[in-house]
A and B are shown apart, each in its own frame.
Chain A
Amino acid sequence: DGGITQSPKYLFRKEGQNVTLSCEQNLNHDAMYWYRQDPGQGLRLIYYSQIVNDFQKGDIAEGYSVSREKKESFPLTVTSAQKNPTAFYLCASSRERGNIQYFGAGTRLSVL
């Protein structure tokens, strides 16, 4: 089955801890994205990547980091600098940037 797999489904972060959210796609898409979803605020773009080894900041990149070492994978690290990390995180991919985006099932991050 082609699709986007996000793991884990639920994640808890302790104070001062970095955590990494996984996103893998087998759709052979070039572009990948990370969004944050908060109640009443819609989807906000954190980072995106058009090709391997290249990525750009989105609208709310502070406190987050990413890597794109493989076409299929685009992990997101929520660092301790992100003071309000509790949210629903969504990974998406598209054949190219701006085209139709397909989403994973999301990771819900909470702070302990």
Chain B
Amino acid sequence: QKEVEQDPGPLSVPEGAIVSLNCTYSNSAFQYFMWYRQYSRKGPELLMYTYSSGNKEDGRFTAQVDKSSKYISLFIRDSQPSDSATYLCAMTPNTGTASKLTFGTGTRLQVTL
């Protein structure tokens, strides 16, 4: 079983919809959680970075962490065709020299007109 599970999709939604992307994980030591967006044939770019449990909002994006359930989510409001990309979750036990990032396999999102 992988440490981080992520539904590969593809997930297709109409423009303007609310999108929910999710990851589950098994390692209770994970403390820092990230969401990256990757366009086709490009490198991942950081979208959201959260520590421990709770919500964080940035524009149309909201990241949610539920450590008790080992479950993280990324919500995209008013989705746009430009949001069509693969979304990767990543997590680590702590920052500093003793940890590394563990990535999900990515969810491919398509926002249609």
Q: Which positions in A face B, CB cutoff 8 Å?
A: 4, 6, 40-43, 45, 48, 50, 58, 88, 90, 96-106, 108
Distance, CA A98 to CA B99, complexed state (A): 5
Which residues of B in the span 78-92 have a Cβ within 8 Å of any Cβ on A?
88, 90, 92
Contact between chains at B100 and A97 (CB < 8 Å): yes
Given contacts A42-B105, A96-B96, contact A102 B46 (CB under 8 A): yes
Nearest-CB residue, chain A, relative to B45: A103
Q: Give the number of residues in B that approach A within 8 Å (Cβ atoms).
A: 28
Contact B101 A101 (CB under 8 A): yes
A97 and B106 contact, CB distance less than 8 A: no
Report whether B41 and A108 are in contact in the complex, using a CB–CB cutoff of 8 Å.
yes
Judging by beta carbons under 8 Å apart, are B95 and A98 in contact? yes
A90-B97 in contact given A42-B88, A43-B88, A43-B103 (Cβ < 8 Å): no
Q: B46 touches which one: A88, A100, A105 (CB < 8 A)? A: A100
A98 and B100 contact, CB distance less than 8 A:
yes
